[in-house]
Each structure stands twice: as C-alpha cells, then as structure tokens.
Amino acid sequence: MDIAKLHSIDPWTWTVPRTPGDTRHEARLYGSRELLAAMDDKVLEQITNVARLPGLVGAALAMPDAHWGYGFPIGGVAAFDPEHGGIISAGGVGFDISCGIRCLRTNLTADDIAHKAAALADSLLDQIPAGVGVEGSLRLDANELDTLMAGGARWAVEHGYGSADDLPYIEEHGCVDGAVPAHVSALAKKRQRGEMGTLGSGNHYLEVQRVAKIYNTRAAEAFGLAEGQVVVSIHCGSRGLGHQIGTEYLVSLAKAASRLGITLPDRELACAPIQSPEGQQYLGAMNAAINCALANRQILTHLARRVFTHHFRQSQLDTLFDVSHNTCKAERHKVDGRERLLYVHRKGATRAFGPDHPSLPARYRQVGQPVIIGGSMGTGSYILAGTAESENRAWSSASHGAGRAMSRNQALRRWRGRAVVDDLDAQGILIRSHSMRGVAEEAPGAYKDIEEVAAATEHAGLARRVAELRPLVCVKG
C-alpha cells in the first residue's frame, strides 16, 4: 500500500483523506508504517468502500492484520445503526461464519509432554477429524441440527461434549440469541450432517503450544497462565452450514440491495437494511451459524480432552476463552455519550471487551477479555486482553491473526509440504496433516510477522499483550 495516500494521526493510526465533496465516512487503519506498507492496495479500496455503506456509525476500521478480503477487507470492522438505515452485509461476515479460536489452558508443562509429544501428535491427527472430505462420527438430521443451532455450545454440553464450566468462557456464554434455524436452507443443513466435530482445512488447526513469555503478570494470573505451561488452541468455524449460508445470502442480498436502491461500490458488499425482511432473514441464519460454530468448537474441545487424558491421565484442559472472528453482533456502545444498539461487523477481527464489561466472567472482569491472535504453525500466537481504550477506537475490536504476507499460489511455488514439515521438526515443532499441499500453502514464511501485529495491536490501544505462545504440535486441516 502506498503510505503517501494516508494521513497519519499518530504512529499507529492512519486515515484515508477525503476528496472535497466526498460524503463518505472516515476510513481508518491501525498499524505500524511497516505493516501498512506491506498491505495490498485492495485493503485501502475495500475499507473506503465500507465507509460508503448506509447507516455506518463512526469510521470504517481496518485492524493491523488487515488484508485483501471480499467486500470487506479481512480485518475490517464496521458498526451500523438499525434506526438510521444501517445495513447488515454477508460480505462483512464472510463464508466461514463465526470462525474462531477456542483456547484451553492445561495443568501440564512443556517438559511434562516432551517425552510423549510424537505420540500425542499422532493421536490428535487420528482422533480430530481434519481436512477436506473428512467427516466426523456425529451424524445429525435436520431436526437435530435445528436444536443445535438454537442451543450452540450449550447443546453440545447437554449432549455430553465438555462441561457447563466451559460456557462462561465462551462469547455469549456459548449461545447467541436470535438464531432462526428456519432461515437456514435444507441444503445448508444437509451439508452439515456429517461435519459437526470436524476441523476443516486451509488455515484451520489444532495446536499444542507452550507459554513462552508473559508480558502482563496481573492479566496472566487472571487468565491462569504461566511460562512453560501448555495450552491448546483450536481454530475452526461453522463448516459447511456456514459456507452455504454465506453462499446463498451473498447472492440474495446482492439482489436485495439492487432492488432496494442501495448503491454498492462493490457487489461483494451485498447487504440489506437490518430492519428489512432480507436483513432479518440473514441475521437469523447467521446467528444460527454462530451457534453451530460454538457447538463445533465445544465438540472438538471434548475430543482434544479425550486424547490428552489417554496420554496424561491427570491432565485437565479448562477453557480459557473462545473468540469468534467472522460475525455481526448486536451490541450496545456509547456514541457521543449516548448508549446505542449497533450491529458490529467483524470480518477477520476479534471482539475485545475491556475491563468491567458486564458480559465478562467474574474471573476476567478486572483485566479485560482474553483476545487470541493466531499465528502460523512455525512462529506462534499471542494472548492479549481487551482495553477500555479499544471501545472508543474500534468498538472494542482487535486483530485476529498474523495475516498472509503472500498468496497461496506464491507459497506453493516457494515451498514443498514435506520440506516444511521436516524443517519445523528440526525446530522441535511436530506437524501432522493429511495434506502436504495445505502445509505448503500455510508455510510460516507465507505469513506476516505476528510479533509486529501483536505489538501494533497494543500500541494502537486495541488490546494489550499478556502472553506469547510457541507451537509444539500442530494438526493442520
């Protein structure tokens, strides 16, 4: 991206100047000069397009890990007011609705698992259904899926997957209101029949990690983290059901926008007013998919616990937190001193509530919500905590991942999967995958520097670093 096209508010906050007469809202980007310079020009184009959507409140925002998406940039955040013609956009949520990360803290240290790491990795690959074309052992008919979509992770707990103790540590306590399974097509439900409890492929993973560094002792204590401790992160989403909802509503909302006279700068921004019948239908279906994703990560948590118990009889894996990345959520935020109900789109961005937010479990109330920034399988991830400042800067939002530095095609030209696995093995990181092509596409070098993303997220006031995690075992989809 040509930095000369931006105006710097401070070293971590940038805005796209408006030409005289342009009535769009502000388009704001967070990040270091280096991160922004490395972004594709399409990010600028896309976030500026978002700033033209009806009913937008405040600025259209790009997080420090932003990259070229479809419609919205990935790392895009935007809030809309339903009382002022605000819209809901399928392109602002994405295909993998509520894709997110469940982080589990264990009572094990890296030393505890070192002698069994290879066996643990093999068992995880064997027991966690992963990769394209792989189904889970759970098969649900349409009626059972309707119940699941209404209940989210609570449904999973009620059916023996995990414990009720997990629920306070999941966004919306494991179940978002407003799910309307009737707005989910029969085809979407058919696609999901064998997909519950599956990881998927691409950038999805289950990773066993070591806490390598603590940045903030008070927050780390609240999160139950200490150096050397083993944690497990599960990155996946709503699988075929979410993909199908995204697919169907992308086209139907594009047609609705045209019919309702909404001028779209990019057809991928397919949207409808939140209060319109089309907007309400998408909202009901999207919420159903969010609950599907929450249930999916709950089931995978159960499977991971079973594997750990097999190898480490006394192991305990408690849910640290579960964050979703691709959502549009109804939230109350203060605008010019007045509380308003806004629909906040986070496309490849994490909700990051600061201290004292009423939705946080008591354990985290004083330090803020855990925010998990997932990195590549070679470089590590970060746990951060939401800040009070983020409310004003980004509707309490933060980065979600390292962000790709190069395309999948470029990665395939540069790396071979087997060589990536061998190279990481030499560094003490065990990779297990059914797809060597997938491993090459996800090579650590294909991603941006996550340290820089995490630091920029902190410097921009979006969340503050608590702990750095380094990978030990990674099961790739």
Q: Does 435 bind another protein (CB under 8 A)?
A: yes
Residue 406, SS3 per DSSP: coil
* 38, two tokens: 């490395």
Tell me how far, at minimum, the Cβ of 202 lies from another protein, in Å.
5
Q: What is the DSSP letter of 362?
A: G
Query: Residue 213, class by beta-carbon neighbours within 10 Å (0-12 exposed, 13-18 middle, 19+ buried)?
Result: middle
Rounded to a whole number of angstroms, the minimum distance from the CB of residue 1 to another protein is 12
Q: What is the Cα–Cα distance from 177 to 225, expressed in whole angstroms?
A: 31
Binding residue for another protein (CB under 8 A) from 163, 436, 445, 459? 436
Tell me, yes or no, if 400 is annotated catalytic. Answer: yes
Residue 247 vs 315, nearer CB to another protein:
247
Q: Which of 115, 333, 400, 434 is catalytic?
A: 400
Residue among 327 and 387 whose Cβ is closer to another protein: 327
Binders of another protein: how many residues, by CB under 8 A? 50
- 246 near another protein, judged by CB under 8 A: yes
Is residue 31 at the binding interface for another protein, with CB under 8 A as the rule?
no
CB of residue 382 to another protein, shortest distance in Å = 20
Q: Shortest Cβ distance from residue 393 to another protein (Å)?
A: 24
C-alpha pair distances (Å), 475 with each of 58, 95, 222: 40, 22, 28
Q: Which residue, 197 or 403, is less far from another protein as judged by CB? A: 403
Say how many CA atoms lie within 13 Å of 257 toward its Cβ.
25
Supply the minimum distance, in Å, between the C-beta of residue 89 and another protein: 12
When the beta carbons of 38 and 226 are compared against another protein, the nearer one is 38
Phi first, then psi: give them for residue 277, nearest 5 degrees: -55, -40
Contacts of 22 (CB under 8 A, 6+ apart): none
The site string for another protein over 53-72 (x = CB under 8 A, - otherwise) reads: --------------xxxxx-
Nearer to another protein, 42 or 213 (CB): 42
Contact between 206 and another protein per CB under 8 A: no
Q: Which two tokens stand for residue 390?
A: 């983020």
Quick one: which segment of 162-170, 205-213, 236-244, 336-344 binds another protein (CB under 8 A)? Answer: 236-244
User: Which of these, 384, 379, 106, lies nearest to 229 by C-alpha position?
Assistant: 106
Binders of another protein in range 88-117 (CB under 8 A): 91, 94-96
Q: DSSP secondary-structure letter at 364?
A: G
Distance in angstroms between the alpha carbons of the first and the last residue of the chain: 31
Contacts of 437 (CB under 8 A, 6+ apart): 412, 417
DSSP-based three-state secondary structure for 230: strand
Query: Measured from the CB atom, is 82 or 94 closer to another protein?
Result: 94
Q: Which of 24, 173, 213, 267 binds another protein (CB under 8 A)?
A: 267
In the set 133, 261, 337, 358, which binds another protein (CB under 8 A)? Answer: 133
Quote the tokens at residue 174: 């494991």
Q: What is the largest CA-CA distance in the chain?
A: 67
Which of residues 40, 45, 144, 423 is near another protein by CB under 8 A?
40
**27-to-5, 56, 62 alpha-carbon distances in Å:** 12, 11, 8
Which tokens is 430 given? 């065990």
CA torsion, ordered 407, 408, 412, 414, to nearest 10 deg: 30
* Class of residue 117 by CB neighbours under 10 A (exposed 0-12, middle 13-18, buried 19+): middle
Stretch that binds another protein, among 102-110, 146-154, 404-412, 466-474 (CB under 8 A): 404-412
Q: Does 343 bind another protein (CB under 8 A)?
A: no
Instruction: Between 53 and 231, name the residue whose CB sits nearer to another protein.
Output: 53
**Minimum CB separation from another protein for residue 43, in Å?**
8
CA distance 104 to 232: 5
By CB under 8 A, residue 135 contacts another protein: yes
Query: Any contact of residue 416 with another protein (CB under 8 A)?
Result: no
Contact status: 42 vs another protein (CB under 8 A): yes
Please identify, among the stretches 21-29, 76-84, 132-140, 290-298, the one whose residues bind another protein according to the rule CB under 8 A.
Answer: 132-140
The nearer residue to another protein, 252 or 315, going by C-beta atoms, is 252
The H-assigned helical ranges of 108-162 are 110-114, 117-127, 142-151, 153-158
Among 18, 24, 173, 190, binds another protein (CB under 8 A): 190
Our finding on whether 155 is near another protein (CB under 8 A) is no
Min dist CB 437 to another protein, Å, is 5
Let me know: does 453 contact 35? Beta carbons within 8 Å.
yes
For the chain, what is the radius of gyration of the CA atoms?
A: 21
Q: Which is nearer to another protein, 208 or 440 (CB)?
A: 440
**Residue written as tokens 């696609």?**
191
Q: Does 449 bind another protein (CB under 8 A)?
A: no
Query: Taking the CA of residue 40 as centre, how many other CA atoms within 13 Å lie in the half-sphere pointing to its CB?
Result: 18
Report the half-sphere exposure of 339 (CA within 13 A, side-chain side): 3
Q: Binding to another protein by residue 268, rule CB under 8 A?
A: yes
The residues that are catalytic are: 400
Residue ranges binding another protein (CB under 8 A): 40, 42, 67-71, 74, 91, 94-96, 131-135, 187, 190-191, 193-194, 200-202, 240, 243-244, 246-247, 250-251, 254, 266-268, 270, 403-404, 407-410, 434-438, 441, 477
